[in-house]
């Protein structure tokens, strides 16, 4: 895989990141009713309608290229970047990968991930107000110039935040939440939406367990209270202890999409 | 944390919904449905809405938020229930495969304008 590292420049791409505006609602959905000098205009529209339309467009583009897109989310400092460094080291020789990294500021994570040799795009959300999540239009801009042909797995490392990214579809195929044992076992209960919308969870930094008063089983049970039957991979990104089941799950997901794409003749 | 962005989306949609022949009309309320599971803090959203509507077509409008409870259906025994706490297993048969029927809404329902 040739080394390639794109950095979205503040000035050059600022225009691309302007918040897209919704189309005016269809006139047919207007219905007016009057009472006491006021009139109600019915709208019935999802507030994130525009984001969802762009996410659908992203999803179509990814499907055309047979790219499996993984959205990785967590609170800051849970070990997403280390997890991805180790994951890429294991799979990038067999599965052509690319990465989009979101941070409010700095290119530290992209610099670390570029060492793997896969194409990396860094998004800095301070370009548009320090957004706390990656929205679909940001992903659309980030991958616009990326050569997707031949890429099988696109990993999106979302902004560190357990709240907002859960609400924004970016056109991904699967979502993974990373929780580190140092965050405490109760976080899934405090941030239920994140654990509800994800397809798999990683309990990271298990190498630290001997030094902590944290009950890893309780953390896993709390994840399963919010999302029963969800795969949970307890592992250490540092030592790679427990890594095999996670890699196996990811490879299976990528191959499943690939075979689906082949059978659809896309 | 993203309440300001959400408020701006709401304002865009609401402003675009005012029919052209009523341009300049005063908007009294913007009515929103927010599921209890949505990642939105209503107080924060109301604050952002008030700030972001200043001097625009929705200046003075009130954001009325109806909170929608979380309801789920068990895909094993078809039981439906209100999800009260952070527990998403069927209370009847303990199955984990459930479908959320409501609770994730973030919908703008209507606006009320003063004639």
Q: How does pLDDT run across A193-229, given as a tens digit for each residue?
A: 999 999 999 999 999 999 999 999 999 999 999 999 9
State the pLDDT at residue A10.
32
Q: How many CA atoms lie within 13 A of A26 on its CB side?
A: 4
Q: What is the pLDDT of residues A176-185, one digit of tens each?
A: 999 999 999 9
Q: Which of B1, B3, B4, B5 to mutate to test the interface with A (most CBs of A within 10 A)?
A: B5
State the pLDDT at residue A34.
54
Q: What is the pLDDT of residues A220-255, one digit of tens each?
A: 999 999 999 999 999 999 999 999 999 999 999 999
The answer to whether residue A260 is domain-embedded is: yes
A11 — contact with chain B (CB < 8 Å)? no
Q: Which of A50, A133, A192 is closest, CB to CB, to B86?
A: A192
Sheet holding B98-102, edge to edge: B80-82, B71-74, B98-102
* Cβ proximity of A68 and A262 under 8 Å: no
State the pLDDT at residue A28.
42
The answer to whether residue A202 is domain-embedded is: yes
* Cβ proximity of B103 and B69 under 8 Å: yes
- Structural domain of A178: 5-10+48-264
- A61 or A28: which leads in pLDDT: A61
Instruction: Answer whether residue A170 shows pLDDT above 70.
Output: yes
Domain count, chain A: 1
- The mean per-residue pLDDT over the stretch B95-110 comes to 96
Inter-chain touch A166–B109, beta carbons under 8 Å: no
The answer to whether residue A141 is domain-embedded is: yes
Nearest one of A232, A236, A233 to A223, comparing CA atoms: A232
CATH number of the domain encompassing residue A248: 3.40.50.300
Q: CB contacts < 8 Å between A and B, how many?
A: 121
Chain B: closest CA distance from residue A105 (Å): 17
B83 — contact with chain A (CB < 8 Å)? no
Instruction: Answer whether residue A1 shows pLDDT above 50.
Output: no
A229 interaction partners in chain B (CB closer than 8 Å): 96-97
- The mean per-residue pLDDT over the stretch A47-76 comes to 96
A140 — contact with chain B (CB < 8 Å)? no
State the pLDDT at residue A33.
56
Give, in degrees to the nearest 5, the angle at Cα A212 between A210 and A213.
115
B40 interaction partners in chain A (CB closer than 8 Å): 167
Query: pLDDT > 70: what percent of chain A?
Result: 85
The answer to whether residue A23 is domain-embedded is: no
How far is Cα A251 from Cα B92, in angstroms, rounded to an integer?
36
Q: What is the pLDDT of residues A96-125, one digit of tens each?
A: 999 999 988 888 999 999 999 999 999 988
Q: Give the fold, CATH level 3, of B3-69+103-114.
A: hypothetical protein PF0899 fold (3.30.2320)
Instruction: Answer whether residue A29 shows pLDDT above 80.
Output: no
CA B76: distance to chain centroid? 30
The answer to whether residue A199 is domain-embedded is: yes
State the pLDDT at residue B115.
83
The answer to whether residue A222 is domain-embedded is: yes
B51 — contact with chain A (CB < 8 Å)? no
Mean pLDDT, all residues of chain B: 94
Q: Residue A9 to residues A13, A42, A125, B10: CA-CA distances in angstroms?
A: 6, 42, 12, 30
- The mean per-residue pLDDT over the stretch A75-89 comes to 97
How far is Cα A88 from Cα A254, in angstroms, rounded to an integer?
14
Chain A: closest CA distance from residue B111 (Å): 5
DSSP per residue, B3-45: HHHHHHHHHHHHHHTS-GGGTTPEEEEEEEEEETTSS--HHHH
B30: exposed, middle or buried (Cβ count in 10 Å: 0-12, 13-18, 19+): buried
Nearest one of A185, A179, A189 to A213, comparing CA atoms: A185
B39 interaction partners in chain A (CB closer than 8 Å): 163-164, 166-167, 193
State the pLDDT at residue A265.
65
State the pLDDT at residue A136.
95
A167 — contact with chain B (CB < 8 Å)? yes
State the pLDDT at residue A9.
34
State the pLDDT at residue A5.
37
How far is Cα A254 from Cα A235, in angstroms, rounded to an integer?
21
State the pLDDT at residue A104.
86
The answer to whether residue A20 is domain-embedded is: no
Domain ranges of chain B: 3-69+103-114
Maximum separation of any 2 CA atoms in chain B, in Å = 56
How far is Cα A31 from Cα A265, in angstroms, rounded to an integer?
44
Q: Dihedrals φ, ψ of B12, to 5°?
A: -60, -50
State the pLDDT at residue A24.
59
């Amino acid at each position: 895989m040739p080394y390639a590292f794109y950095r979205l420049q503040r000035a050059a791409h600022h225009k691309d990141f302007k918040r897209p505006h919704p189309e005016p609602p269809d006139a047919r959905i207007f219905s007016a009713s009057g009472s006491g000098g006021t009139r109600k205009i019915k709208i019935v529209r999802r507030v994130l309608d525009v984001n969802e339309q762009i996410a659908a467009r992203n999803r179509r583009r990814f499907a055309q290229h047979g790219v499996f897109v993984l959205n990785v989310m967590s609170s800051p400092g849970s070990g997403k970047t280390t997890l991805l460094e180790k994951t890429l080291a294991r799979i990038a020789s067999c599965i052509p990968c690319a990465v989009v990294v979101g941070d409010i500021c700095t290119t530290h994570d992209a610099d670390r991930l570029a060492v793997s040799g896969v194409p990396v795009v860094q998004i800095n959300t301070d370009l548009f107000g320090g957004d706390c999540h990656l929205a679909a239009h940001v992903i659309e801009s980030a991958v616009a110039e990326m050569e997707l042909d031949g890429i099988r797995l696109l990993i999106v490392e979302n902004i560190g935040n357990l709240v907002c990214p859960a609400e924004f579809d970016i056109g991904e195929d699967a979502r993974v939440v990373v929780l580190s044992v140092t965050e405490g076992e109760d976080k899934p209960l405090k941030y239920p939406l994140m654990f509800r919308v994800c397809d798999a969870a990683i309990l990271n930094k298990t190498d630290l367990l001997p030094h902590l008063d944290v009950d890893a089983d309780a953390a896993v049970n709390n994840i399963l209270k919010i999302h029963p039957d969800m795969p949970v991979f307890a592992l250490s990104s540092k030592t790679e202890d427990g890594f095999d089941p996670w890699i196996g799950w990811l490879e299976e997901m990528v191959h499943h999409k690939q075979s689906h794409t082949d059978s659809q003749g896309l | 944390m993203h309440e300001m962005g959400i408020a701006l989306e709401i304002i865009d949609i609401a402003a675009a919904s005012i029919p052209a022949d009523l341009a300049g009309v005063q908007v009294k309320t913007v009515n929103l449905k927010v599921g209890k599971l949505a990642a939105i803090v209503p107080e924060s959203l109301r604050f952002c809405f008030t700030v972001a509507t200043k001097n625009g077509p929705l200046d003075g409008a009130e954001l009325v938020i109806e909170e929608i409870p979380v309801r789920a259906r068990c895909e094993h025994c078809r039981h439906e229930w209100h999800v009260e706490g952070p527990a998403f297993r069927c209370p009847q048969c303990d199955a984990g495969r459930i479908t959320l029927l409501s609770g994730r809404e973030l919908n703008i329902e209507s606006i009320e304008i003063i004639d």
